């Protein structure tokens, strides 16, 4: 089977992780710090905090900003449910705005309208498929209204803003969150990373990811218990706020650190594959490639195409099943979040999201991953075009 995406694990990754398991600590050791430093350096951020998942990262990010319970948070309906779920976890209220039909990213025009009409605390733009949102404009709009920005960059490690900086440098945001799920730019199996340039947010995140526990002697609320003769007691720690068990393991961090050494290779290969898809399908009459204007900036996590299924008189399900019979796995990214039964029960709908609905009804992700060869890529297109033309 040719999957829509998969991890790329090398022999050296396996050896590095095996050495960690055999000879070093399995939790709360030095590999996590090494991994955090490698990601922070790569994206150009001052701080990075490893967590158990990108979902955990988004949750903690909302908590670290300290906005009042019940505050409204704008995000995209075209995303995995974690983008919105994390808002609810923090006791906040998701507000979905429409997307650009050409990219799947949130519309800056709709964002501007929403911020004029409603009191919003935070905006969570989602870099769909790895292509950067228009962060310069989003940042400008949010600064005028004193609104926080958390970038959901689960798809986007290795991508760049239009201004050239790496996504995750937080040039245009307060916080950025990455995912290391197996199909992402690099993997730790499961896991995530939060980047920020705020020292205050950084220390809040460190505490929040580990039960709300404080180990810094200069910040103990019970200094008499925590110190002896002015020096921190080595056994002492105190919980001074509610936190979570969102730590990453040393095993995961070791894999991530090893993978980071190859990230440029992975991203360059994805870019070449996406550009080749663009070229080979430029005259195709059955479907349209999207995000071509941001191709060289994107992490190219996915390669989504748009198909007018009504025009070709075939259902998406029919096409996906026929491709699977040929050994080609495709996927739909995503069912708009307000259409999930849980969100429908909360009163959400897609009434004001026409672009998101049109986008959903036409989208299909075809295979792209670093080890996808040209022969296999040609096979994917051959089968797809044959099925669409029948």
One digit per residue, the tens of pLDDT, for the chain of length 390 reads: 999 999 999 999 999 999 988 877 888 889 999 999 999 999 999 999 999 999 999 999 999 999 999 999 999 999 999 999 999 999 999 999 999 999 999 999 999 999 999 999 999 999 999 999 999 999 999 999 999 999 999 999 999 999 999 999 999 999 999 999 999 999 999 999 999 999 999 999 999 999 999 887 778 889 889 999 888 899 899 999 899 999 999 999 999 999 999 999 999 999 999 999 999 999 888 999 999 999 999 999 999 999 999 999 999 999 999 999 999 999 999 999 999 999 999 999 999 999 999 999 999 999 999 999 999 999 999 999 999 998
95, 114 contact by CB (below 8 A): yes
What is the C-alpha R_g of the chain? 22
Assessment of whether the complete model's pTM goes beyond 0.85: yes
Q: Where in the chain is the domain with CATH 3.90.1150.10?
A: 263-389
Q: Where in the chain is the domain with CATH 3.40.640.10?
A: 11-260
Residue with token string 């689960």: 154
Torsion of CA 120, 344, 358, 360, to 10 degrees: 100
Domain 11-260 bears CATH identifier 3.40.640.10:
yes
- CATH architecture type of domain 263-389: Alpha-Beta Complex (3.90)
């Amino acid at each position: 089977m040719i999957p829509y995406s998969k991890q790329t694990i090398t022999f050296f990754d396996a050896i590095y992780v095996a050495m960690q398991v055999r000879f070093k600590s399995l939790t709360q050791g030095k590999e996590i710090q090494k991994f955090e430093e490698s990601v922070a350096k790569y994206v150009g951020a001052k701080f990075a905090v490893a967590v158990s998942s990108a979902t955990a990262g988004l949750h903690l990010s909302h908590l670290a900003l300290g906005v009042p319970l019940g505050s409204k948070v704008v995000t995209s309906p075209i995303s995995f449910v974690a983008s919105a779920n994390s808002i609810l976890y923090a006791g906040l209220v998701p507000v979905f705005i429409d997307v650009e039909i050409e990219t799947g990213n949130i519309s800056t025009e709709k964002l501007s309208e929403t911020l004029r009409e409603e009191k919003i605390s935070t905006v969570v733009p989602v870099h769909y498929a790895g292509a950067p949102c228009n962060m310069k404009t989003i940042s400008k709009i949010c600064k005028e209204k004193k609104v926080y920005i958390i970038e959901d960059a689960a798809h986007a490690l290795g991508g760049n803003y239009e201004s050239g900086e790496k996504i995750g440098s937080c040039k245009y945001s307060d916080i950025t969150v990455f995912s290391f799920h197996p199909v992402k730019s690099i993997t730790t199996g499961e896991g995530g990373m939060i980047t920020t340039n705020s020292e205050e947010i950084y220390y809040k995140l460190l505490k929040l990811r580990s039960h709300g526990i404080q180990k810094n002697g200069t910040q103990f609320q019970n200094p008499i218990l925590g110190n002896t003769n002015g020096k921190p007691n080595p056994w002492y720690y105190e919980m001074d706020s509610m936190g979570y068990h969102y730590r990453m393991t040393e095993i995961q961090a070791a894999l991530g650190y090893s993978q980071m050494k190859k990230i440029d290779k992975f991203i360059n290969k994805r870019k070449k594959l996406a550009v080749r898809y663009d070229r080979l399908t430029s005259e195709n009459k059955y479907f349209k490639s999207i995000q071509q204007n941001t191709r060289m900036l994107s992490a190219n996590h996915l390669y989504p195409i748009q198909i007018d299924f009504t025009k070709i008189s075939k259902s998406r399900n029919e096409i996906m099943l026929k491709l699977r019979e040929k050994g080609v796995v495709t996927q739909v990214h995503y069912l708009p979040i307000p259409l999930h039964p849980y969100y429908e029960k909360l009163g959400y709908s897609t009434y004001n999201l026409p672009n998101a609905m049109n986008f959903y009804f036409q989208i299909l992700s075809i295979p792209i991953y670093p080890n996808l060869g040209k022969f296999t890529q040609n096979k994917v297109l051959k089968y797809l075009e044959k099925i669409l033309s029948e």
